[in-house]
Amino acid sequence: MINLLIAGYHGYGNCGDEAILQAMTTNIRKMAKDVNITALSYRPDFTKTEYGINSVQRFNIAQVVSAVRKSDIILSGGGTLLQNGTSTRSLLYYLSIIKIAKLFGKRVMLYANGIGPVTGRLNRRLVKSVVNTVDVITLREKLSEQDLRSIGVTNPHVSVTADPAFKLESIGGEEAEKLLKAEGIPSDRQRVAVCVRAWQKAQYGDDYVVKIAKVCDDIVSSGKDVVLLPMEFPKDIDISKRVCSAMTQKSYMLEKRYDPGQILGIIGRFDLMISMRLHSLIFAAVKNVPMVGIIYDPKIEYYLKELDMPEGGDVRSEKLDSDKIYSQVCEIFDNMEKYKACLKTKADTMIKKADENDRLLSAQFSLIRNKKESLK
């Protein structure tokens, strides 16, 4: 057996990170029957039950070191793990796992990672030193490759692929419709999903909440339903409720927690998506649901350009223009087939790029098998 350890931001209720883990475990099982999967998690019992894999508490140092020692290969990812925009402690945590793995002589793969921001001379020097020892690196966008090279990483084994969530398996449309019905969401009108997140670094504070609410009012006034769709549960509930409260028209909100496959299926029942959340945009692309993205991070901007979908504004530097966003929504509805055709072509390209993550991982499995065979 090959023992594989996945280090990522798991067990916190973020649908995007859970989608990555679900897609990774499903794909690994499809391509290799001799792999035993373990994941680090904030809630190991949840992760074990949800994905049918082994899991250890990410903050139990003894358990983490033991899991690394017992593994043949460590996957760092996916998601944006190597960054100190959240905190330097987070950056050091993931770098430490890679460092420990290499001290034990283990193979390490950065799997569909986002990189950055990494600020501070010492932090950048540490990333350069540690990442140059990694065996293979796949990055989910070109921006991350640029960030790595600017830090000084010279590792030659780098490929730009795509987010693993492009390969996530979905529940069926009928099942998704039943979930929406159970939450009181009507099905007799066109539906627009809206995903927002709290972002304290927005240039103009909570003004974006008011502007998004105004767009939602205009959409409802045009004869469509608006449904607030939290992606990080329960973290996005409060900000979603604030959008609903700022509206003058009736809206809906999903209040139950759903797994990534269910969320993917639910998004497929919408006609259009307005979102600040990366993985809701990816899910919309997979389900061929045209979108308007609200930028708060370079990764959103990157994927909107890759998918050739409109951006409704950038909260990092400007006030949102609700009239502009509503105009973009109307443009999509007026030219729906054109947008769907474009999006399908772009999403198919991304799915093929995501396949490359698993092709390169499969090559690592072959190296490990050959080594084990030679030691018999």
pLDDT digit string, tens, across residues 308-323:
999 999 999 999 999 9
Return the higher-pLDDT residue of 299 and 271: 271
Nearest to 283 by CA among 347, 234, 222, 219: 347
Q: What percent of the chain has pLDDT over 90?
A: 95
Q: Examine the pLDDT at 304 and tell me if it is beyond 80.
A: yes
Q: Please tell me the predicted confidence (pLDDT) of residue 131.
A: 98
Average confidence score pLDDT of the chain:
96
Distance CA 19, CA 25 (A): 10
Q: Please tell me the predicted confidence (pLDDT) of residue 103.
A: 97
CATH architecture of the domain with residue range 173-349: 3-Layer(aba) Sandwich (3.40)
Distance CA 268, CA 171 (A): 10
Q: Please tell me the predicted confidence (pLDDT) of residue 302.
A: 92
| CATH classification for the domain delimited by 2-160, as one of 3.10.20.340, 3.20.20.70, 3.30.420.40, 3.40.50.11720 | 3.40.50.11720
Q: Please tell me the predicted confidence (pLDDT) of residue 78.
A: 84
pLDDT digit string, tens, across residues 212-233:
999 999 999 999 999 999 999 8
Domain boundaries, the chain: 2-160, 173-349
Q: In what order do the strands lie in the sheet with 107-115?
A: 54-57, 35-41, 2-7, 73-82, 107-115, 136-139, 158-160
Q: Examine the pLDDT at 376 and tell me if it is beyond 80.
A: no
Mean pLDDT of 260-288: 97
Residues in Cβ contact with 77 at an 8 Å cutoff, skipping those fewer than 6 apart: 6, 7, 8, 20, 109, 110, 111, 112, 113
Mean pLDDT of 105-113: 97
Q: How would you write the chain as a 3-class SS string?
A: CEEEEEECCCCCCEHHHHHHHHHHHHHHHHHCCCEEEEEEECCHHHHHHHHCCEEEECCCHHHHHHHHHHCCEEEEEEEEEECCCCCHHHHHHHHHHHHHHHHCCCEEEEEEEEECCCCCHHHHHHHHHHHCCCCEEEECCHHHHHHHHHHCCCCCCEEECCCHHHHCCCCCHHHHHHHHHHCCCCCCCCEEEEECCCCCCCCCCCHHHHHHHHHHHHHHHCCCEEEECCCECCHHHHHHHHHHHHCCCCCEECCCCCCHHHHHHHHCCCCEEEECCHHHHHHHHHCCCCEEEEECCHHHHHHHHHHCCCEEEECCCCCCCHHHHHHHHHHHHHCHHHHHHHHHHHHHHHHHHHHHHHHHHHHHHHHHHHHHHHCC
Mean pLDDT of 128-146: 96
Distance CA 195, CA 218 (A): 17
Q: Examine the pLDDT at 48 and tell me if it is beyond 90.
A: yes
pLDDT digit string, tens, across residues 7-28:
999 999 999 999 999 999 999 9
